[in-house]
C-alpha cells in the first residue's frame, strides 16, 4: 500500500486515535463525505509504517473501482483473509464501508483474531451506529470527523488570522480539497458536486426516496432557517395550503435522513432548570457552511446565522456535546458539555445597542453556576467582560477555544 506523500496532517484527530492503535477494537471514523476521513486513514497508515516499516497493511476503498467486486460480507471476508499475514499483526483499513452489504458480519469474524487491527470509515451515522451497536457492542470506538475548523482552514491554506480570511471560511466552508482550488466563485462548482453526491448517494439512493423535489425544497428551507426552531407540522400545514400532502412524521423522517448523512446536525433543547430534553422544537445547523451557501446563497443578511453555525461547529470540533439551553422563557444559544465540564455561549452579530448588550449578557448572568460563559460577536466590544461574562469576537473564539 503506497501512502500519498502530500498529506496535510490533522493532528487533532490523529492524537485521538493513536492510543487505540494495536488494540483489538474497531476504530470507526464517521462524517460527511469529503471531510477528510480517507486522508486520516492515510495518516494512520503512515504513522504505523514509520513505526513498523514491514507492517502488513490491507487497504480497501469502496469508491475505487478496483474493489467493486467486494459487495457483501463474504466478499469482504474472503478478500481480507486472502491478504492476511499469519503470525503478525495485520492493519486493516476499509474506506466507506457502508457500501458493503452486511459488513458488520465480516467485521465480527475478523475481530475474532487478536492479530487483526481494524479501521473503518463511513458516511452514514444511523447505519453505522445501528449495525455496529447490534453486532459489535463494546468492540468498537467511534470518532466523528468534521469539516476543517477555522484554525485548520488557515493552516491548510497558509493564511493568517484576519477578517478577510474569516470571510473566506464563512463563504466557502472547510472542505479539505479546497486547498487545491482558488477560493473564488468557481470553487462553488466543486462544492455543488459534493453536495449532489451526498444527497443522491447517501440520502436518495440509500433510503429509496422518490419525492426528490420535496427533499430539495426541505433542504432549502433548512438552509434558510439556521438556528430557528423546526416544526414539521408547520411545514406540513404550509404544504397543504399548496395542495401538497405530506404528513409531519414523513417530513421528520426526511430530516433524519439528512442528519444521518451529516448534511445537517440536530440540536435538542435542554431545560436548565428541570434538567431534561424537550421532545419537540429542535434546531438544525449545517456541517459545512460552503454547502449551505450553494443551497441558499451567501448574503450579508445571513451573516448572523452563519456565525451561529460556525460557533456550533467549533464546539463540536472541540469535543463538546451541544444543546440549546432553555432558562424559563429565555434561551441560551449553546450549552456545551465535555468530560463533565460545561460552557455557555451566546452568539450575536453586533453589540452596538445597549438593549442587545443587556439581553445577551443578561441571559448568561441568570445561569446559576460557575462554568465559563461567553458572548461571541462579529465585532469588538468595549471591554472584554461584562459583570464577569467574557466577550470574544468570533475570530478570538474560534482561535482560542480548544
pLDDT score of 154: 98
Q: Using CA atoms, how far apart are residues 178 and 143, in angstroms rounded to an integer?
A: 23
The number of beta carbons lying within 10 Å of the beta carbon of residue 329 is: 5
**Angle, CA 292 vertex, CA 296 and CA 207 arms, to 5°:** 105
pLDDT score of 227: 94
pLDDT score of 3: 81
Q: Using CA atoms, how far apart are residues 361 and 270, in angstroms rounded to an integer?
A: 19
pLDDT score of 157: 98
pLDDT score of 1: 66
What lies within 8 Å, CB to CB, of 253 at 6+ separation is: none
How is residue 179 annotated by DSSP?
G
Q: Name the packing angle between helices 248-260 and 212-224 (round to 10°).
A: 80
pLDDT score of 228: 93
pTM across the whole model = 0.95
Q: Using CA atoms, how far apart are residues 302 and 352, in angstroms rounded to an integer?
A: 18
**Angle, CA 99 vertex, CA 97 and CA 104 arms, to 5°:** 50
CA distances, 89 to each of 142, 194, 358 (Å) = 21, 36, 61
pLDDT score of 79: 98
How is residue 55 annotated by DSSP?
-
* pLDDT single digits (tens) 348-395: 999 999 999 999 999 999 999 999 999 999 988 877 788 999 999 999
C-alpha cell recorded at residue 398: 474560534
pLDDT score of 381: 82
pLDDT score of 140: 93
Give the pLDDT means over successive 10-residue stretches in the chain (402 positions): 85 97 95 96 96 96 96 98 97 95 94 96 81 84 96 98 98 97 95 97 94 92 93 83 84 94 96 89 96 95 96 98 95 97 97 93 95 95 86 97 94
What average pLDDT is seen over the chain? 94
The domain limits of the chain are 11-144, 150-400
When the candidates are 3.40.50.300, 2.40.50.140, 3.30.230.70, 3.40.1390.30, the CATH number that belongs to 11-144 is: 3.40.50.300
Contact 118, 27 (CB under 8 A): yes
CA distances, 14 to each of 19, 20, 45, 145, 180 (Å) = 9, 10, 11, 11, 22
Q: Using CA atoms, how far apart are residues 30 and 37, in angstroms rounded to an integer?
A: 7
Amino acid at each position: 500500500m503506497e501512502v500519498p506523500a502530500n498529506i496535510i496532517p490533522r493532528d487533532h484527530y490523529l492524537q485521538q486515535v493513536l492510543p487505540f492503535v494495536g488494540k483489538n477494537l474497531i476504530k470507526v471514523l464517521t462524517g460527511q463525505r469529503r471531510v477528510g476521513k480517507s486522508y486520516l486513514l492515510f495518516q494512520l497508515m503512515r504513522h504505523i509504517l514509520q513505526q513498523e516499516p514491514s507492517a502488513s497493511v490491507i487497504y480497501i476503498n469502496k469508491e475505487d473501482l478496483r474493489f467493486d467486486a467486494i459487495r457483501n460480507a463474504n466478499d469482504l471476508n474472503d478478500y481480507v483473509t486472502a491478504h492476511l499475514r499469519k503470525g503478525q499483526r495485520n492493519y486493516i483499513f476499509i474506506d466507506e464501508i457502508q457500501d458493503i452489504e452486511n459488513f458488520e458480519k465480516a467485521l465480527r469474524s475478523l475481530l475474532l483474531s487478536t492479530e487483526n487491527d481494524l479501521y473503518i470509515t463511513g458516511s452514514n451515522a444511523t447505519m453505522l451506529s445501528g449495525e455496529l451497536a447490534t453486532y459489535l457492542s463494546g468492540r468498537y470506538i467511534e470518532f466523528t470527523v468534521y469539516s476543517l475548523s477555522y484554525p485548520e482552514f488557515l493552516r491548510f491554506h497558509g493564511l493568517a488570522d484576519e477578517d478577510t480570511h474569516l470571510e473566506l471560511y464563512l463563504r466557502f466552508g472547510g472542505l479539505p480539497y479546497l486547498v487545491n482550488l482558488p477560493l473564488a466563485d468557481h470553487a462553488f462548482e466543486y462544492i455543488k458536486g459534493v453536495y449532489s453526491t451526498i444527497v443522491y448517494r447517501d440520502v436518495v439512493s440509500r433510503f429509496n426516496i422518490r419525492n426528490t423535489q420535496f427533499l430539495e425544497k426541505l433542504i432549502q428551507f433548512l438552509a434558510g432557517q439556521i438556528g430557528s426552531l423546526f416544526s414539521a407540522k408547520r411545514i406540513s400545514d404550509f404544504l397543504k395550503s399548496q395542495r401538497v400532502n405530506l404528513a409531519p412524521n414523513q417530513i421528520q423522517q426526511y430530516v433524519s435522513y439528512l442528519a444521518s448523512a451529516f448534511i445537517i446536525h440536530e440540536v435538542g433543547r435542554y431545560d436548565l432548570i428541570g434538567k431534561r430534553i424537550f421532545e419537540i422544537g429542535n434546531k438544525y445547523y449545517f456541517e459545512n457552511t460552503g454547502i449551505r451557501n450553494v443551497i441558499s446563497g451567501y448574503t450579508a443578511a445571513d451573516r448572523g446565522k452563519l456565525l451561529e453555525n460556525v460557533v456550533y461547529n467549533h464546539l463540536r470540533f472541540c469535543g463538546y456535546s451541544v444543546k440549546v439551553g432553555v432558562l424559563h422563557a429565555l434561551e441560551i444559544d449553546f450549552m456545551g458539555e465535555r468530560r463533565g465540564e460545561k460552557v455557555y455561549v451566546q452568539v450575536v452579530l453586533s453589540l452596538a445597542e445597549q438593549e442587545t448588550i443587556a439581553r445577551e449578557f443578561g441571559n448568561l448572568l441568570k445561569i446559576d453556576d460557575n462554568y465559563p460563559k461567553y458572548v461571541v460577536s462579529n465585532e469588538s466590544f468595549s471591554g472584554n467582560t461584562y459583570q464577569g461574562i467574557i466577550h470574544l469576537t468570533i475570530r478570538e473564539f474560534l482561535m482560542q477555544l480548544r
